[in-house]
Structure 1
Amino acid sequence: MELLNQYLPKTEVEKKYKLKMQKLYQSKGSKAFLRDNLDRHFTASAWIINPISQQVLLLHHKKLNKWLQAGGHADGDENLEKVARKEASEETGHNNLQQISESIFDIDIHTIPERKGIPQHEHYDVRFAYFCHEIEETSINSESNDFQWVELDRIKDLTNEPSILRMVSKTKDIINGI
Structure 2
Amino acid sequence: MTIADTSLHADAVRALTTWTGGDAGQEALRQDYLDHLAAHPDGMWRACRPAHITASALVLDLTGGRVLLTLHPKVGRWLQMGGHCEPGDLDLAAAALREATEESGIPDLTLLAVDGRPAPVKLDRHAVRCAGKDRPDNTHLDVQYVALAPAGARELISEESLDLRWFDLDGLPEQTDSSVRELVAIARRLTAHG
Fold-level match, TM-score > 0.5? yes
One-letter identity of the residue aligned with 2:82: G
Could you tell me which of 49, 53, 56 is aligned with 1:38? 49
**CA contact 2:59–2:67 (8 Å) conserved in 1:** yes
Q: TM-score normalised to the size of structure 1?
A: 0.90
The correspondence of residues 2-81 of structure 1 with structure 2, limited to 5 A, is 2-29=14-41, 31-76=42-87, 77=89, 79-81=91-93
**CA contact 2:111–2:146 (8 Å) conserved in 1:** yes
Corresponding residue SS for 2:15 = helix
> Corresponding residue for 2:8?
none
**CA contact 1:63–1:143 (8 Å) conserved in 2:** no
Distance 2:63 2:15 in 1: 28
Distance 1:6 1:156 in 2: 34
**CA contact 2:97–2:111 (8 Å) conserved in 1:** no
- List alignment gaps of at least 5 residues for structure 1: none
CA RMSD of aligned residues (A): 1.9
Structure 2 residue 134 is matched with structure 1 residue 155: no
**CA contact 1:38–1:119 (8 Å) conserved in 2:** no
Higher helix share: 1
> Corresponding residue for 2:161?
144
4+ residue segments displaced more than 6 Å: none
Q: TM-score normalised to the size of structure 2?
A: 0.83
Corresponding residue SS for 1:144 = coil
**CA contact 2:157–2:163 (8 Å) conserved in 1:** yes
Identity %: 25
> Corresponding residue for 1:86?
98
